[in-house]
Chains A and B, each alone.
Chain A
Amino acid sequence: MPFNSADLQILLPQIILVTWASALLLIVVFNREAAKGLIPLLSAIGLGITGIFLVPQFRLEQAAFSGMYVADGFSTFLSLLLVLGGLLTIAVSYGYLQRMNLMRGEFYALMLFSISGMMLMASAADLIVVFLALELLSIPLYVLAAFARPEPRSEEAGLKYFLLGAFASGFLLYGIALVYGATGATALTGIVSAVQMGIDQPLYLVLGAGLILTGLGFKVAAVPFHMWTPDVYHGSPTPVTAFMALGAKAAGFAALLRIFIVAFPEVSGQITPVLLTVTIATLLAGNLLAIAQNNVKRMLAYSSISHAGFILMAVVVYGNDAARFDVVASALFYLLAFALASFGSWAVVMVIEKREGRGLEFSDYAGLGGKQPSLAIAMTIFMLSFTGVPPTLGFAGKFFLFRAVLEGGYVGLAIIGVLASLISAYYYLRLVVVMFMQEGEPEIHKDRWLNLTAGATALATVLLFVFSEPLFGWASQALLKVF
């Protein structure tokens, strides 16, 4: 394999991010005090620089390292989304970690490592790289989930996430092995050409695809692989939950979309029924279980499962030639809409949250509308965006998503999807009811960064709706091609 400096140039954002994260770790070793202000600032700068180097890659369509790594519109969109997620995580973590006595510099370095894994996932064009990326993004997340030790719930979250994550990796690896057995290739292009030439054991390919779906299904928290989600989301420190809700989901869907659209269009006949079942189960279970929650963090965890279900609706259609174009664009757009509302709502949760896992019940939000109307209005906007009520970005996301589903001819799935939205309206509105229509004296922590995050994301959720055109245009340029 000839080494090529152009390859390095394509990898530059990754190189910057990993180097930066390693340097941060070193700083922490020599100066524990730096965690208070310097490290968050430096992490944000590092992410910013990575973002700047990512932007010009948007127009690229280039593979590097013998086709194992790809830089294209798709990977750039997701990487930038992840960088944005990282910046928002830093904003919400800063005050929270101090308040909860979790101020340790490793937090930020681990997060940066995890982001680099997620970005790698978005660019991976080889199943081995997918596995590598999965581990790189997951291992820091296991640690972050348990970051609030010796808080038992956090330790439990870390352990649970680790065990089930290891399980998922096993599935993924086994799937990769089967695909390799069937096609003799791990590169997505290799798989495609092998399938086109004709393969002896198509069953292995289908089984392999199914196992890969299972492994990634764990990461995006699709039903029936979702069992860990409520406990881990609940037990992890809230900034980690916020980060995980977007990051792991974005990375999982990145791999899912790229692998299935590029490498497995031929097996869509066998895989689609499975996908369809998983999707419907995710939509129904996520929404129905969310109704029963009295803890806001758990409610948002189940809601996060249901949003994975919505994005899966687009993935179901991946085998349809006419709709494929919309599948990618609408999934990416939906992730963006989800990201904003998700970070915003977690920021509000952190404003109310108290130590030792208190301040997370619905009843703790009673009277927020009277005491802190701006915060309550922001939360209402997030809930409306989650439900898909205009004028919010979440509505545009659902609208675009349902088009992909209808174009693929899945009218029944679309109807289940809208019914799921209706169910979700019930529990999202319940929080609004508590905030505005019940009396109470909520305790509010003054945290400039949390307020700023909530305000900015709420404003973006409404304003970006009006300017959906450039955003969706941008997402729709993120085509997936075979290199």
Chain B
Amino acid sequence: MDFIFAPLNLVTFFPLIGVLILLFLKEREELSRWVALVTSLITFGISLWVLGQFNSSDPGLQLPIDVDWIQVAGWNIRYAMGVDGLSILLVLLTTFLAPISILSTWKAVEERARDFMLFFLLLEIGMVGVFLAQDLFLFYIFWEFTLVPMYFLIGIWGGQQRMYAAIKFFLYTMAGSILMLLAILWLGINQGSFYLPELVSKGGIPGNIQYWLFLAFAAAFAIKVPMWPLHSWLPDAHVQAPTAGSVILAGVLLKMGTYGFLRFNLSLFPQATVQLAPVMATLAVIGIIYGAIVSYSQKDVKKLVAYSSISHLGFVMLGLFALNAQGIEGAILQMVNHGISTGALFLIVGFIYERRHTRELDEFGGLWQVMPLYAVTTLIVALSSMGLPGLNGFVGEFTILLGAWGAGQAGGSLGNILYAAFAAVGVILAAVYILYMFQKMFLGPITKKANEKLKDLSWRELAVIVPLIILIFWIGLYPKPFFALMHPAVEQLLTVFQTAGLALH
């Protein structure tokens, strides 16, 4: 019983209860929405309870679960979970975005709402599991499992090209993860364990093999992030996915990629990480600038937001591979920020799409006059996304740039301050496309007749967006508690590099 009611098992598998209830609710769409909402709210509550038990001064794994799973014939597979400063914020982000997404679908998903909720809750299990699993086999199961419900969410409730987008999403992501699977197997065979802490403390993987294993893991994670040039699935998936799907996709699923780099690549293959840091940082910077430029040239709001994700996640990657405390802490915070801001942007796009059934920028203009409340919320979210001081995006990006700058000094992982310089250009470009979007949609006269009678945000929509706006201000004005949660764990992660890694430079 202790095992079943272990906090981390509860927070991961509680949505299963909702799934089981939903299985017995045939054709009761309204009720299934409530079941899903309540389930995800309780899950969020459990995650807060986990946070309450979390000791932020402890750098190690907390609330661990570690039982034998498959221990025959030379296998050493364990059912191991744990939470630490690297993952706690992402778990909270997931459980926080889940009820918000569900609430946002209240009116948008009319057909087969029960099935939608069912898949959504299954997806939540997979995502939380990814952030908590400490055994590579278990991690891979959660990782790969998230594909299945997301595939259905895009494929059944998506837009015109949904089937194409769903299959592309599935195959693209699977292509990366099967290479990771082989690398995981290699570790299991040659290091005798799949248990992450054991693998990290054991170390001793020869340099050239580290290099290949790093690349195999990176294949899975870089596609998920997505890093330039592996991003081409993202615009399709985002544009076709229903609003809640986009929110979760941008908010959480992409973070699984960056989290993967942080949790596995950095700690398992420190030498290869140091070796490849400039390469990864270069790709990250290209992504920042490329994403921003492509965003600017979009006609479809949702595509614009989708491409901006590539740019924002470039910042996260740059921070991670700065390999210093500022860079990594900024990256973790930026993961959360991106989840909040971009999640909110997708919600905002969804609001207007439900009213007008179009997302073309040219179709709008002057919306401020008819929907002032909507305009103000959009403005806040947009400013947060472009990194205005006082809002959350600024804190993350600024810390990352500081880290990248530090890494550019002698003895740093990148060895050149140009990375930071080019990334800073990305901040300016972000202002360009975000303000361009805002101006096109909200300012000027009303040009289209269809826009004249639009209703402003409803209470439900406000309930969806306001929690996000509160967080935008909270992180922007007082980020200290967030940094305090991750700091000890990041410091501990970096000791790996102080002993093995940075000696290379």
| C-alpha spacing A402/B140, complex, angstroms | 15
Closest to A419 in B: B178
CB contact list, B65-117 vs A, under 8 A: 69-75, 112, 115
Given contacts A389-B147, A418-B178, A418-B181, contact A325 B166 (CB under 8 A): no
| C-alpha spacing A325/B162, complex, angstroms | 46
A429 and B185 form a contact (CB under 8 A): no
Closest to B216 in A: A415
B73 and A472 form a contact (CB under 8 A): yes
A473 and B178 form a contact (CB under 8 A): no
Most A Cβ at <10 Å: residue of B69, B70, B115: B70
Kindly state whether residue A421 has any CB partner on chain B within 8 Å: yes
- Select A402's contact among B162, B166, B181, beta carbons within 8 Å: B181
Shortest CB distance A437–B (Å): 5
B115 and A373 form a contact (CB under 8 A): yes
Given contacts A389-B144, A437-B166, A472-B72, contact A422 B185 (CB under 8 A): no
Kindly state whether residue A147 has any CB partner on chain B within 8 Å: no
Kindly state whether residue A433 has any CB partner on chain B within 8 Å: yes
| C-alpha spacing A469/B71, complex, angstroms | 7
B167 and A433 form a contact (CB under 8 A): yes
A473 and B140 form a contact (CB under 8 A): no
Kindly state whether residue B353 has any CB partner on chain A within 8 Å: no
Kindly state whether residue A426 has any CB partner on chain B within 8 Å: yes
B73 and A473 form a contact (CB under 8 A): yes
| C-alpha spacing A436/B115, complex, angstroms | 11
A433 and B73 form a contact (CB under 8 A): no
Q: Which residues of A contact B175 (CB under 8 A)?
A: 422
B189 and A407 form a contact (CB under 8 A): yes
- Select B75's contact among A369, A437, A472, beta carbons within 8 Å: A472
Kindly state whether residue A364 has any CB partner on chain B within 8 Å: no
Kindly state whether residue A414 has any CB partner on chain B within 8 Å: yes
A426 and B182 form a contact (CB under 8 A): no
Kindly state whether residue A27 has any CB partner on chain B within 8 Å: no
Residues 202-241 of chain A, each 1 if its beta carbon lies under 8 Å from chain B, else 0: 0000000000000000000000000000000000000000
Given contacts A418-B179, A426-B167, A436-B156, contact A326 B141 (CB under 8 A): no
CB contact list, A425-442 vs B, under 8 A: 425-426, 429-430, 433, 436-438
Shortest CB distance B468–A (Å): 31
Shortest CB distance A373–B (Å): 7
B178 and A399 form a contact (CB under 8 A): no
Given contacts A389-B147, A389-B148, A469-B72, contact A425 B171 (CB under 8 A): yes
| C-alpha spacing A429/B151, complex, angstroms | 10
B72 and A422 form a contact (CB under 8 A): no
CB contact list, A392-406 vs B, under 8 A: 395, 399, 402-403, 406
B69 and A370 form a contact (CB under 8 A): no
Shortest CB distance B167–A (Å): 6
Q: Which residues of A contact B170 (CB under 8 A)?
A: 425, 429
Q: Which residues of B contact A384 (CB under 8 A)?
A: 148
A437 and B178 form a contact (CB under 8 A): no
Shortest CB distance B91–A (Å): 20
Kindly state whether residue A468 has any CB partner on chain B within 8 Å: yes
B185 and A473 form a contact (CB under 8 A): no
CB contact list, A366-414 vs B, under 8 A: 369-370, 373, 384, 389-391, 395, 399, 402-403, 406-407, 411, 414
Kindly state whether residue B200 has any CB partner on chain A within 8 Å: no
Kindly state whether residue A14 has any CB partner on chain B within 8 Å: no
Residues 175-200 of chain B, each 1 if its beta carbon lies under 8 Å from chain A, else 0: 10011011001101100000000000
Q: How large is the interface on A (under 10, 10 to 19, 20 to 34, 35 or more residues)?
A: 35 or more
Kindly state whether residue B379 has any CB partner on chain A within 8 Å: no
Q: Which residues of A contact B361 (CB under 8 A)?
A: none
Kindly state whether residue B163 has any CB partner on chain A within 8 Å: yes
Shortest CB distance B216–A (Å): 10
Residues 321-351 of chain A, each 1 if its beta carbon lies under 8 Å from chain B, else 0: 0000110010000000000000000000000
B174 and A422 form a contact (CB under 8 A): yes
| C-alpha spacing A406/B183, complex, angstroms | 10
CB contact list, A7-31 vs B, under 8 A: none
Q: Which residues of B contact A419 (CB under 8 A)?
A: 178
| C-alpha spacing A406/B185, complex, angstroms | 8
Residues of B in contact, count (CB < 8 Å): 36
B140 and A390 form a contact (CB under 8 A): yes
Shortest CB distance B303–A (Å): 22
Q: Which residues of B contact A395 (CB under 8 A)?
A: 141, 144
| C-alpha spacing A432/B205, complex, angstroms | 41
| C-alpha spacing A472/B170, complex, angstroms | 29
Closest to B172 in A: A422
| C-alpha spacing A469/B188, complex, angstroms | 16
Kindly state whether residue B145 has any CB partner on chain A within 8 Å: yes
Given contacts A325-B73, A391-B145, A469-B70, contact A433 B166 (CB under 8 A): yes
| C-alpha spacing A425/B115, complex, angstroms | 23
- Select A329's contact among B73, B148, B162, B171, beta carbons within 8 Å: B73
Kindly state whether residue A123 has any CB partner on chain B within 8 Å: no
Kindly state whether residue A476 has any CB partner on chain B within 8 Å: yes
Shortest CB distance A393–B (Å): 13
Closest to A418 in B: B178
A425 and B174 form a contact (CB under 8 A): yes
- Select A433's contact among B69, B148, B163, B182, beta carbons within 8 Å: B163
Most A Cβ at <10 Å: residue of B115, B137, B178, B189: B178
A437 and B70 form a contact (CB under 8 A): no
Most B Cβ at <10 Å: residue of A399, A421, A468: A399
| C-alpha spacing A264/B166, complex, angstroms | 47
Q: Which residues of A contact B182 (CB under 8 A)?
A: 402, 406, 411, 414-415, 418
A422 and B71 form a contact (CB under 8 A): no
- Select B171's contact among A399, A422, A436, beta carbons within 8 Å: A422
Given contacts A403-B189, A436-B156, A437-B162, contact A391 B141 (CB under 8 A): yes
Shortest CB distance B403–A (Å): 35
Q: Which residues of B contact A429 (CB under 8 A)?
A: 151, 167, 170-171
Kindly state whether residue B155 has any CB partner on chain A within 8 Å: yes
| C-alpha spacing A418/B185, complex, angstroms | 12
CB contact list, A445-472 vs B, under 8 A: 468-469, 472
Q: Which residues of B contact A422 (CB under 8 A)?
A: 171, 174-175, 178
B155 and A433 form a contact (CB under 8 A): yes
Residues 142-168 of chain B, each 1 if its beta carbon lies under 8 Å from chain A, else 0: 001101100110011000001100110
Q: Measuring CB to CB, which residues of chain A are less than 8 angstroms from any residue of chain B?
A: 325-326, 329, 369-370, 373, 384, 389-391, 395, 399, 402-403, 406-407, 411, 414-415, 418-419, 421-422, 425-426, 429-430, 433, 436-438, 468-469, 472-473, 476
A-B contact pairs, 18 of them (CB 8 A): A325-B73, A326-B74, A384-B148, A389-B144, A389-B145, A389-B147, A390-B141, A390-B144, A395-B141, A402-B185, A406-B189, A415-B179, A418-B181, A433-B166, A433-B167, A468-B70, A469-B72, A473-B73
The 6 closest A-B pairs by CB, nearest first: A476-B73, A473-B72, A418-B178, A390-B141, A469-B70, A437-B155
Beyond A325-B73, A414-B185, A472-B73, 20 additional contacts (C-beta under 8 Å) are A329-B73, A390-B145, A402-B182, A406-B186, A407-B189, A418-B181, A418-B182, A422-B174, A425-B170, A426-B171, A429-B171, A433-B166, A436-B156, A437-B155, A437-B166, A438-B163, A468-B70, A469-B71, A472-B72, A473-B72
